Amino acid sequence: MFRVIRGIALAMVALTISAATANATSRIKDLANIEGVRQNQLIGYGLVVGLNGTGDTLNNIPFTKQSLQAMLERMGVNIRGATIRTGNVAAVMVTGNLPAFATQGTRMDVTVSALGDAKSLQGGTLLVTPLLGADGNVYAVAQGSLAIGGFQAEGEAAKVTRGVPTNGRIANGALVEREIEFALNRLPNVRLALRNGDFTTAKRIAAAVNDFLGAKTAEPVDPSTVQLSIPAEFKGNVVALLTEIEQLQVEPDLAAKIIIDERSGIIVMGRDVRVNTVAVAQGNLTVTISESPQVSQPAPFSQGRTVVTPNTRVGVTEDGKKLALVKDGVSLQQLVDGLNGLGIGPRDLIGILQAIKAAGAIQADIEVM
């Protein structure tokens, strides 16, 4: 009797696990962003020094020469009218993302990219560079040694380049000088911005939040927004509320879609792609042209000339595939199996999917990248 009960219990556990894995759920934290909690893009213009002759050509890049002159003048060195031939300086653009709630004195990563005709930034050091936001204010200052992922080596008759030696990164290379004030704990309501807008997903998120709080505080405003009113017990402590809400599990629902990248031949299909009954056939037409010229020589003492007679052979081969039947309402796995049964490659599969869509037999959106 004990063995029978134990077997039933194990079977119920197995059914529970299979049901849980069948419906894939995700945290609200992975499905939506908190409106207002975001990064801010920064940009700046600076100079990289210490290059081993791989910097900008000052005669060809006037802005590098002007920047170098202005920097030296600020340090009390006057080189106006002098001829500068250094190749150890490069003008660069510095970019970075200011993290949300970054406080003054914290550090952030920056990316450095060559602006002129520099060959490599390897071994270079970025001088003090202010980083500006979209409003024109300075929010951070960058400086430090560059880490380059690529390299370049060349000789008299050969050159080898790996990666991109004119682009580098400085980890923790910028200091935050100005904070962006955002009083999150004083907000009367919070808006959740879905990363993939969908009516069903927005409604499920609102339902999950309401079930957790025991009150109707969340409401879907549109497919991409869920508005959350702060309950009385969380007034002044919005962080605690968001910490609880972002861990809730929700099953997202996405529209049936097929993504096609014609450049690489990549095809990605969603699980909800369905097709009506349709018959598909595919054939390849191959035309082969071969040239085998023949030499014609005259008989001895005939005073003729040796000529080349062209000989062209043209062959046409058509590889016809049998007509394959794709039944109505098949699943994604059955659709893939049916199309693979034709023995075709990704390039031909792209054309077949587009033809099925044109016939109105596929219930999905096709997006070509």
pLDDT in single tens digits along all 369 residues of the chain: 434 334 433 333 343 333 444 457 899 999 999 988 889 999 999 999 999 889 999 888 899 989 998 898 888 888 877 778 888 999 999 999 999 899 999 999 999 999 999 999 999 999 999 999 999 999 999 999 999 987 676 666 677 777 789 999 999 999 999 998 888 888 889 999 999 889 999 999 999 999 999 989 999 999 999 999 999 889 888 999 999 999 999 999 888 888 888 777 788 887 777 777 777 666 654 545 566 777 677 767 666 677 767 776 666 555 655 555 656 666 666 666 666 666 666 777 777 778 878 877 777 888 887
Using alpha carbons, list the distances in angstroms from residue 74 to 44, 49, 86, 87, 124.
19, 16, 19, 21, 21
Strand 266-269: give its sheet, edge to edge: 266-269, 257-261, 365-368
- For the question of whether the overall pTM of this predicted structure is more than 0.85, the answer is no
Structure tokens at 270: 């969603």
Using alpha carbons, list the distances in angstroms from residue 26 to 20, 193, 211, 251.
12, 15, 17, 6
55, amino acid identity: G
Contact status, residue 35 vs residue 252, Cβ threshold 8 Å? no
Domains and CATH numbers, the chain: 40-176 (no CATH), 183-250 (3.30.70), 257-291+310-368 (no CATH)
Judged by phi (left if over 0) then psi (alpha if -120 to 50, else beta), residue 355 lies in alpha
